[in-house]
A and B are shown apart, each in its own frame.
Chain A
Amino acid sequence: MMNAILNIGLNHETAPIEVRECLAKDPRNPVLILNALRQSLLVKESFFLSTCNRVEVLCVTDRPSESEKAVIQLLSDLGGIPQERLDEYLFVHREIDAVRHIFRIASSLDSMVVGEPQILGQMKEAYTLSVAEKTSGVILNRLLHKAFHAAKRVRSETGIADAAVSIAYAAVELAKKIFYDLSDRKVLLIGAGEMAELIARHLLNFGVRSLVVANRTFDKAVRLADFFKGQAVSFEEIGARILEDDIVIASTAAPDYIVTRDLLKGLMRRRRNRPLFFIDIAVPRNVEPEVNEIENVYLYDIDDLKGVVAVNLEQRRSEAIKAERIVDEETMRFGHWLRTLEVVPTIIDLKEKAEKIRNMEMQKSLVHLGAFLPEQLQAVETLTLSITEKILNDPILLLNRKAERPTKDVFLDLTRTLFNLDQDKNEEDENGSQSND
Chain B
Amino acid sequence: MDFWLFRVSMSLILLAAGGLVVFIVKQQKPVFTWSLRLLWIGYICLTFLLLFQYRQMGVAPALTFRTALVFFAWAVLGAYLFLYLKFKLMILGSFIASLAAVLLILSLFITAPEITIHPALKNPWLSLHILTSVLGNGMLSVTFIAALMYLIQERQIKHKQFGSLYKRLPSLETLDNISQYSLIFGFSLLTIGMITGSIYAQSALGTYWQWDSKEVWTLIVWLIYAVLLHERFAVGLRGRKAAWLSILAFLFLIFSFIGVNFWFSDYHRFEKLLRPHLP
Contacts and interface: CB of A to CB of B under 8 A. Distances in A.
B171 A298 contact: no
A272 B166 CA distance: 26
Nearest to A181: B173
Contacts of A273: 235-239
B236 A272 contact: yes
A384 interface: no
A296 B174 CA distance: 14
Nearest to B161: A307
A199 B22 CA distance: 35
Given A304-B160, A307-B160, A177 B166 contact: yes
B239 A178 contact: no
Contacts of A78: none
B29 interface: no
Contacts of B240: 295-296
Contact of A298 (B158, B162, B236): B158
B157 interface: yes
A274 B239 CA distance: 9
Contacts of A176: 171
Contacts of A178: 157, 171-173
A421 interface: no
Nearest to B236: A272
Interface residues of A, number: 20
A68 B161 CA distance: 38
A52 interface: no
Chain B CB count within 10 A is highest, among A179, A271, A272, A307, for A272
A174 B171 CA distance: 9
Contact of A177 (B161, B172, B237, B239): B172
A275 B240 CA distance: 11
B157 A298 contact: yes
A180 B170 contact: yes
Given A179-B171, A180-B174, A300 B160 contact: yes
Contacts of A275: 172-173, 239
B118 interface: no
Interface in B148-182: 153, 157-158, 160-162, 166, 170-174
Nearest to B237: A273
Contact of B162 (A180, A181, A296, A308): A308
Nearest to A293: B158
A292 B158 contact: yes
Contacts of B122: none
B162 A307 contact: yes
Chain B CB count within 10 A is highest, among A180, A181, A307, for A180
B166 to A, nearest CB: 7
B239 A296 contact: yes
Nearest to B160: A304
A274 B237 CA distance: 9
A130 to B, nearest CB: 37
The 9 closest A-B pairs by CB, nearest first: A272-B236, A180-B171, A180-B173, A296-B239, A273-B236, A180-B174, A304-B160, A179-B173, A273-B238
Given A178-B172, A296-B240, A307-B162, 9 more contacts: A179-B173, A180-B174, A272-B235, A272-B238, A295-B239, A295-B240, A296-B238, A296-B239, A308-B162
9 contacts: A177-B153, A177-B166, A178-B171, A273-B235, A275-B172, A275-B239, A296-B239, A296-B240, A308-B162
